[in-house]
Amino acid sequence: MKMQWILATALSAALGLPALAQDKVKLVDVVELSGAGATAGTNWKNGIDLAVADINAKGGILGKQIEITHYDTQTNPGNTRAAVQRAIDEGTYAVLGPVFSGPIGASMQIAQRAEIAQFVGGEAANLTMQGNKYLFRTSLSQTAAMPKIAAYLKNTVKAGSVAVVWVNNDFGKGGRDAILPELEKAGIKVAVDVATEQGQADFAADAIKVKNSNADAIFVYLNEEESARFLRAAKQQGVTKPMVGETTLLGSKVIELAGEAANGVKGHVGLSIDAPIPAFQEFGKKFQAKYNYVSDHNGLKGYMAVYMIKWATEKQKTFDKKGVADTLRGATIKPSDEPGIMIETTIEQNGDLDRESFLAEVKDGKQVITATLPKIKP
């Protein structure tokens, strides 16, 4: 009799497990939780967790709860490749992350071969120029952002010459290569072109170089922690010319780390919780309440990435991995159709995004949005 009970229990457990698994959809996030990309990666991860909690609380995607797993890549391209492969082997429905352009470039072919959609936080222009139909950005590409920066430098800052400070990784090189032709088109001279290293701690020499270039403005294109260190070094060296950047430079973590040195920084931001969009502000409050700090653009990107997957799945009415990419390419997602997307977003055929963006300035330690820029193709 006892044996029968054991067998019955084992049988019911064996039958029950697949049923349980079928009630869930697995998503794997491959992200920089340590190393140089820790700040961006942690925000991205937390944004994803917030979206997953929200979606699960409302019944999941097509009735299935999302099961999210995060793998730390340590901002290492090799680890990223291994983690993406592991995610696919474990049957992920889509790959989320990474955020840094270098690791994305090193790992995107793996998801492409498996015909699984990958949602990344990278901005390097070349990522979406390689014909990968499964790669989707969650931010504007440098190709979209840099013309806006050049126009801002010319029309608002009235700069005739600019010092360009960039980080020598895929993100920074891509940004530099995208801004230089735009500056030339705008008739702005490059006074000095300063390459810095990812993870660099001491920016004194770079700040002195920039100061002595006598440029009218300084375009700073570094990752979060390096941006903060550079701003501090520039303040220590008495650099007073306007600092202009793209999204990262005006991010909340940079403002927090740079302290007073961040005041006066200006530029273009793709996403911001301070933007005059109620859904962004609501997200910012929820994020702050849950994690006790202010989300930067990467938090918003992570959040929206999960909703892009939800929208595509509900649109195709089935959990077809390949279909996610097919559904998203060329689509425009409106907040009226999917409130979690927060802002009308058009996904180009190559995975680039088009949406409204913002001009901002840091005042008294806070990012203040000064203007809203329309979509490139309204």
Partner 1 sequence: MAEFIAYLIAGIATGAIYALAAIGFTLVWQTSQTINFAQGEFVMLPAVLVLLAIKLFGAPIWLGALIGIAAFILIFGAGFKLAVVDPMIKHGVLPLAIATMALSIIMKEGAKDAFSAEAQNFPSFVPTQTISVFGASISLQHLAIIIVAFAVIGLLQWFVGGTRLGRQMQATAQNPTVARILGIPVERMVLLTFVINAALAVVASALISPIYLAKFSNGEVIGLFAFIAAIVGGFNQVRGALVGGLVVGIVDSMAAAYISTSYRLAVPLVLLVVIILLKPEGLMGRKEERRV
256 binds partner 1 (CB under 8 A): yes
Contacts of 124 (CB under 8 A, 6+ apart): 101, 104, 105, 141, 142, 170, 171, 173, 174, 175
Sole window of 146-154, 170-178, 251-259, 340-348 interacting with partner 1 (rule: CB under 8 A): 251-259
Closer Cβ to partner 1, 96 or 257, answer by number:
257
Residues 54 and 94 sit within 8 Å (Cβ to Cβ): no
Residues in contact with partner 1, shown as a per-residue x/- string from 200 to 239 under the rule CB under 8 A: xxx-xxx-xx-xx------------x--xx--xx-xxxx-
In the list 25, 38, 145, 218, the residue contacting partner 1 (rule: CB under 8 A) is: 38
Strands (E), the chain: 24-31, 65-72, 95-96, 118-120, 135-137, 161-167, 189-196, 217-221, 243-246, 266-269, 332-333, 345-347, 353-354, 357-363, 366-373
Which one, 137 or 229, has the nearer CB to partner 1?
229
The yes or no reply on residue 297 touching partner 1 (CB under 8 A) is no
Provide, rounded to whole angstroms, the least separation between the CB of residue 213 and partner 1.
10
- Of residues 72 and 348, the one with the C-beta less far from partner 1: 72
Find the part of the chain contacting partner 1 (CB under 8 A) among 19-27, 31-39, 314-322, 360-368: 31-39
Cα gap 290→54, rounded to integer Å: 12
- Please report whether residue 77 would count as binding partner 1 according to CB under 8 A: no
Taking the C-alpha atoms of residue 320 and residue 326, their distance in angstroms, rounded to an integer, is 10
Instruction: Give the footprint of partner 1 on residues 263-292 (CB under 8 A).
Output: none
Closer to partner 1 by Cβ: residue 77 or 199: 199
190 near partner 1, rule: CB under 8 A: no
| Closer residue to partner 1 in complex, CB, 293/319 | 293
Beta-bridge partner residues of 105:
none
Closest CA to 356 of 271, 286, 253, 243: 271
Give 320's contacts (C-beta < 8 A, 6+ positions apart): none
What tokens were used for 243? 């600092």
Residue 178 is a binding residue for partner 1 (CB under 8 A): no
- Name the minimum Å distance from CB 240 to partner 1: 10
Q: Is 261 in the site for partner 1 (CB under 8 A)?
A: yes
Q: How far apart are CA 245 and CA 149, in angstroms?
A: 8
Considering the complex, what minimum distance in angstroms separates the CB of residue 204 from partner 1? 4
Between CA 115 and CA 208 the distance in angstroms is 49
Q: Least CB distance from residue 135 to partner 1, whole Å?
A: 26
Dihedral angle sign, alpha carbons of residues 66, 70, 76, 82: negative
Who's near 43: CB < 8 A, 6+ residues apart? 253, 295, 296, 297, 298, 299, 302
Complex with partner 1: residue 87 or 258, whichever CB lies closer: 258
Sign of CA dihedral 309, 315, 318, 323: negative
Q: Report how many residues bind partner 1 under the rule CB under 8 A.
A: 37
Number of Cβ within a 10 Å radius of residue 52: 22
**To the nearest whole angstrom, how small is the minimum distance from the Cβ of residue 197 to partner 1?**
6
If DSSP codes are grouped into helix, strand and coil, which group holds residue 349? coil
Stretch that binds partner 1, among 8-16, 147-155, 253-261, 349-357 (CB under 8 A): 253-261
Residue 89 vs 202, nearer CB to partner 1 = 202
What does residue 260 show for φ and ψ, rounded to 5 degrees? -60, -30
User: Which lies closer to partner 1 via its Cβ, residue 229 or residue 301?
Assistant: 229
CA separation, residue 5 to residues 11, 12, 20, 301, 336 (Å): 10, 11, 22, 51, 53
Cβ at position 296, least distance to partner 1 in Å: 11
Q: Which of residues 123-152 bind partner 1 (CB under 8 A)?
A: none
Answer yes or no whether residue 195 interacts with partner 1 by CB under 8 A: yes
- Residue 223 CB, shortest distance to partner 1, in Å, is 11
**Residues of this chain that bind partner 1 (CB under 8 A):** 33-35, 38-39, 42, 168, 194-197, 199-202, 204-206, 208-209, 211-212, 225, 228-229, 232-233, 235-238, 253, 256-257, 259-261
